Chain A
Amino acid sequence: MPTVSMTVNGQPAAGEVEGRTLLVEFLREHLRLTGTHVGCDTSQCGACVVHVNGKSVKSCTMLAAQADGAEVTTIEGLATNGELHPMQAAFKEHHGLQCGFCTPGMVMSAVDLLNTNANPSEREIREWLEGNICRCTGYNNIVKAIQAAAGQTGG
């Protein structure tokens, strides 16, 4: 079996995987980083979003082997020294989560949005989230949280 190695949340990580092993399986089953979730099998729900080399990626849609040598950040790597990342803090402040299952993917996706577009409009936020499904919140407070994290008043 091929060996893959990558940096995950700043730490070196390596393992032997089958060729068909997905990045999300590598994270969850090999590294036991279970914060990244699997909500579908058709690349639609976004529960599995992580950052690969700084960009949001659906980790169910990428082989572990494709991430060989990459820098991967998962939800576990977002807070620093026990301080929530501003996006995590905004989700808590604005009640942008209920069951929490879509949340890691939502937060990782939202962080990438603001990296890409520091001051998105509500429409741009809603369109960006097209690849992240949440059944609980109706998105109202997720949008609010992202607006607040972007420093928009009234968010």
Chain B
Amino acid sequence: MTEGTGIGARVRRTEDNRFLTGKGRYTDDINRIGQAYACFLRSPHAHAKIDGIDTGAAKNAPGVIAVLTGDDVAADGLGGIPCGFSPTGTQAPQNAPPRPALVQGKACFVGDLVAMVIADNLNQAKDAVELIQVDYQELPANVDPAKATDPSTPRIHEAAENNLVAEWGIGDKEAADQAFAQAHHVTKLDLINNRQIPNAMEPRCSIGEHDEANESYTLYTTSQNPHVTRLLLAAFVMQIPEHKLRVVSPDVGGGFGSKIPHYPEEALVTWSAKKVGRPVKWTADRSESFLSDTHGRDHVTRAELALDENGKFLALRVHTAASLGAYLSTFGALSTTYLYGTVLSGPYVIPAIHCGVTIVFTNTAPIDAERGAGRPEATYLVERLVENAAREMGIDRADIRRRNFIPADAFPYQTPVVLAYDSGNYDPILDMALKSADYAGFEARSADAKSRGKLRGIGFSTYIEACGIAPSNVAGAIGAGIGLYESAEIRFAVTGAVSVHTGSHSHGQGHETTFAQIVVDRLGVPFDNVEIVHGDTARVQWGHGTYGSRSLAVGGSAIAVACDKAIAKGKKVAAHLLEASAADIEFKDGNFTVSGTDKSKSFGEIIGAAMVPHNFPLDEMEPGLDQRAFYDPKNFTFPAGCHICEVEIDPDTGRVAVVNWTAVDDFGKIVNPMIVEGQIHGGIAHGIGQALLENCVYDPETGQLVTGSYMDYCMPRADDLPNFNLGFTETLCPHNPLGVKGCGEAGAIAAPPALINAVTDAIGVDIDMPATPEKVWRALQSRAQAAE
């Protein structure tokens, strides 16, 4: 174990002291002087015409300051909530009907925003919402992505014929078809990637404030990317200059993708704060979160893998119907297109791949990224096909993977689906996992389980991930409205204190610790002298925020580059002080030394000399040492890993117990192993949740959200999970200055197929997620009946 506080050390987290003592400052902990409270009326219908809204009684209720509807929004000329992604590679440009902040004339999902009440206190606002009368005319609804384009399915938006967002495709269909025609064996799978609700534990919260003196606004909000929210809200919705809006996202209690999008509630509290002349605060209760946070996944897929007689993969063909809900969210189709189709090659050589996605609207909450975003969906189908193919062809599940892995000497490796993997070495990962999971001992454990009346199964998942999203030119080429570089600014105080202002946002990832370790490692300054600043557009120059496992690879690299710039200038300062030439100055372990001598200055001394330039080469350079970097990565990063899951199933109840979990991952250089392990734990738990417990269900007839509370939507609890057995290999990322890859989503990507492969191994039949006791029990019954 690396000692100290630099890269590789298990530094205990800086942020923990405030979180552990109740001093965290989450958005709902903030109260502004004179603030009023907002409460929303949401549509109780999945699809309904609105013929009238009577707000009279609500307006006259005690404490009520304002009751606002879509007509007020339209009268003030507020823009719709924008979508920042329009995929290329579609047959026609995507249909992007506008999403007004409050609906006018029509509601499109249960939870759609119909009216807003602002009152002196929260209870008054809640009471007044009950008094609003809405004249709804219910319309037939559709919640099934596979049925959305049927001519008989009711149309949700005038602008979107057949409820189609777009038809998107990637890869070479002809080449894939040809390979299938010559295949020795074809494995087919129809599967559903079950809809999920991300469920960060902190519900969303937003406080809008207007400053009359400066004609400017402040929004405190639970966001993973406050600068992006500022851009969307200022430029598109409010249509004010960006500098007239400050967005603050302080401590944020988890995101998992659901706090990436810019939401209408954020726009409404900001807009209405000026209207009512008071700060306006809104905090979601959990029921609102279920209804209105963006959801994830929701794919209906047919996938086929073609193999030759040796179990070598020849081609992969995929068609998916994917819902984006009732409106396009901020990143819209990104998770269902490029983040999905481009990772279908997995860690394998698959000579031909084609994937088509029919992207549709349904009468459900909007869908956007959820931990993994597209990559879990891709990995799930590939890994299930691979495991089924092995079973069908009588090849060991480890062997079939080994036969098809991209060889270590083939990198950089160009896949048939756009991505070029920069580095990887998959065999050692598999070897370590097999050993660590005692794969050889599985048969004995299985026999033992059998003697206890249990069915034991084992399942693998060998994944790759494309993360550290992304080079800006690639982001532009695939249809993103923004660049995806990251910014860092490093500022030095006279006394030697270092402030690092980062555009990444921490909502559990521990940046205040990890990023400080990078600075300690680079500059040799004491850990306690370093402060990481994030989450406030007034304090941080610009940023794209945190998602796609990009904080360390992109945001951390920006910090490293800014540090290097400070070192470069520091060398010149040291040369002056030490009366040497800059070319002779070496920087190591925090000291500038004239090479071959013991003449040296510490980084702290150089900071002092630069900030108090009494003896400073002022004719050559400006005083100060502050530096700024905008780091645009050259490529994605490509972590990889192997997860092995073992389950025991009680055939009488169908209950699946996860009894062993082994994960071996390659994240390149690891800055803080303790934090990385925590990320893997959380990711696996999220993936086990999807595979075993969590399922977002809308009633197929009425479009009501059936799983709208923790009583109905089954979150993983402590007693559902095992301890996780982790291991790491290290192949450095060759193109970023830290050699890092990113780890936040890996567990959620790897876990679902490993678990379902283990269940299908145990019960001998295919099953869709989540593998609930009822589903497993029914599968066992039907297998028994079929055998009779």
Contacts and interface: CB of A to CB of B under 8 A. Distances in A.
B674 A40 contact: no
Nearest to A140: B681
A26 interface: no
Contact of A33 (B22, B252, B724): B22
| Size bracket of the A interface | 35 or more
Given A92-B16, A135-B199, A99 B252 contact: yes
A95 B674 contact: yes
Given A44-B710, A99-B254, A135-B682, A125 B718 contact: yes
Contacts of A47: 201
Contacts of A66: none
Contact of A75 (B21, B200, B201, B715): B21
B75 to A, nearest CB: 34
A35 B24 contact: yes
Given A100-B251, A134-B201, A143-B723, A40 B717 contact: no
Of A98, A123, A130, which is in contact with the most chain B CB atoms at under 10 Å from its CB?
Answer: A98
Interface stretch (B1-9, B343-351, B507-515): B507-515
Interface in A82-137: 84, 88, 91-93, 95, 97-104, 107, 122-123, 125-127, 129-130, 132-137
A98 B508 contact: yes
Of A79, A135, A137, A139, which is in contact with the most chain B CB atoms at under 10 Å from its CB?
Answer: A135
A138 B681 contact: yes
Contacts of B200: 99, 101, 135
Contacts, number: 176
Contacts of A107: 20
Nearest to B719: A126
Contacts of A41: 285-287, 709
Interface string B690-721: 00000000000000000001110001111101
Given A44-B710, A91-B16, A135-B254, A79 B21 contact: yes
B26 A101 contact: yes
B202 A133 contact: no
| Size bracket of the B interface | 35 or more
Contact of B123 (A20, A79, A103, A139): A20
B640 interface: no
Nearest to B675: A95
Given A39-B203, A139-B721, A98 B711 contact: no
A148 B566 CA distance: 42
Nearest to A32: B31
Interface string B717-761: 111010110000000000000000000000100000000000000
Contacts of A74: 22
A140 B725 CA distance: 10
Contact of B684 (A36, A88, A92, A138): A138
Nearest to A101: B253
Given A34-B29, A45-B201, A97-B20, A129 B718 contact: yes
Nearest to B16: A92
Give the dominant DSSP class at B's interface.
Answer: loop
A39 B20 CA distance: 17
Contacts of A150: none
Contact of A45 (B29, B675, B681, B710): B710
A44 B20 contact: no
Given A98-B509, A140-B681, A126 B718 contact: yes
Nearest to B713: A44
B529 interface: no
A104 to B, nearest CB: 5
Contacts of A99: 200-202, 251-254, 507-508
A89 to B, nearest CB: 8
A30 to B, nearest CB: 12
Contact of B201 (A76, A93, A133, A140): A133
B510 A98 contact: yes
B654 to A, nearest CB: 20
Of A32, A76, A95, A102, which is in contact with the most chain B CB atoms at under 10 Å from its CB?
Answer: A95
A123 B720 CA distance: 10
B31 to A, nearest CB: 8
A93 B684 contact: no
B286 A100 contact: no
Given A88-B20, A104-B22, 19 more contacts: A20-B123, A34-B29, A36-B22, A41-B709, A74-B22, A78-B21, A88-B21, A91-B20, A98-B682, A99-B251, A101-B254, A127-B718, A129-B717, A130-B718, A133-B710, A136-B682, A137-B678, A137-B682, A138-B682
In the A-B complex, the 10 residue pairs with the smallest Cβ-Cβ separation, listed nearest first, are A35-B22, A101-B253, A100-B19, A138-B685, A99-B508, A138-B681, A44-B710, A98-B508, A34-B29, A75-B22
